[in-house]
């Protein structure tokens, strides 16, 4: 989403992780997504490889940020947001994975696993009672960084989430899920290994 919001255009290669292209492994030995390869400025033959989602977002918005998602007018905003995002990912993802597995395999501890996730939902709900978006009254990097995780969480048990005591969080999430931008960003693409077709992704190509 950050690439789209930053009006950047990139070649996108859709893959399956059980059939990784050799080109991907040559670019990044970690063998997982995302992998963004960009030419180094003033060195067309030198490539920079970005391997973390947050770093991809920061790169995209450093190119262009018309909506000021990085909050550059506030001296401490970016490091604070990065810290909040990093801590959320570090703490929430293990709890989310446990809840997802418990729900999928009908384990007895589903409620306990969900309650472990709710600790983080409660903190976000409290933030959203103070302002419209996660960091402040205006949208920021924090919103687009947390969106994928919260979307996945809500999909685990849609009925429970619709009735959960997090109305602000539901409103915030629906704001994105019902947007035209989200529909464009989430469009599926042909697998690159099927035909090696060049598919461009970004604001000018959706």
Residue 140 burial by Cβ neighbours in a 10 Å radius (0-12, 13-18, 19+): buried
What integer pLDDT is reported at residue 206 of this predicted model?
A: 46
The C-alpha angle with vertex 77 and arms to 74 and 79, in degrees rounded to 5, equals 135
Can you give the pLDDT of all 206 residues of the chain as single tens digits?
999 999 999 999 999 999 999 999 999 998 899 999 998 876 666 789 999 999 999 999 999 999 999 999 999 999 999 999 999 999 999 999 999 999 999 999 999 999 999 999 999 999 999 999 999 999 999 999 999 999 999 999 999 999 999 999 999 999 999 998 898 898 888 999 888 899 998 865 54
CA separation for the pair 169, 100 (Å, rounded): 19
CATH class assigned to 77-182: mainly alpha
Q: Tell me the pLDDT tens digit for each residue of 171-187.
A: 999 999 999 889 889 88
What are the two backbone dihedrals, phi and then psi, of residue 43, each rounded to the nearest 5 degrees?
A: -135, 80
Structure confidence at residue 205 (pLDDT) = 56
Domain ranges of the chain: 2-68+184-205, 77-182
Rounded Cα distance between 65 and 140, Å, is: 10
pTM of this structure: 0.92
**In 3D, which of 14, 1, 146, 177 has the Cα closest to residue 81?**
146
pLDDT for the residue 41? 73
Predicted pLDDT of residue 147: 98
pLDDT at 47: 87
């Amino acid at each position: 989403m950050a690439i789209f919001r930053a009006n950047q255009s990139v070649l996108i290669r859709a893959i399956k992780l059980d059939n990784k292209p050799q080109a991907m492994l040559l670019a990044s030995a970690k063998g997982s997504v995302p992998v963004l390869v960009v030419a180094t400025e003033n060195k067309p033959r030198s490539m920079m490889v970005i391997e973390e989602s947050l770093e991809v977002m920061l790169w995209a918005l450093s190119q262009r940020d018309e909506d000021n998602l990085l909050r550059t007018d506030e001296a401490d905003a970016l490091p604070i947001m990065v810290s909040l995002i990093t801590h959320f990912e570090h703490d929430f993802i293990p709890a989310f994975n446990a809840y997802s597995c418990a729900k999928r395999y009908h384990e007895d501890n589903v409620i306990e696993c969900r309650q472990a996730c709710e600790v983080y939902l409660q903190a976000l709900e409290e933030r959203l009672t103070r302002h419209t978006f996660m960091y402040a009254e205006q949208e920021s990097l924090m919103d687009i960084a947390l969106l994928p995780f919260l979307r996945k969480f809500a999909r685990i048990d849609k009925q429970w989430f619709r009735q959960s005591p997090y109305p602000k969080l539901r409103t915030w999430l629906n704001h994105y899920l019902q947007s035209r931008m989200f529909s464009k960003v989430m469009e599926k693409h042909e697998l690159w290994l099927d035909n090696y077709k060049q598919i461009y992704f970004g604001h000018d190509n959706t």
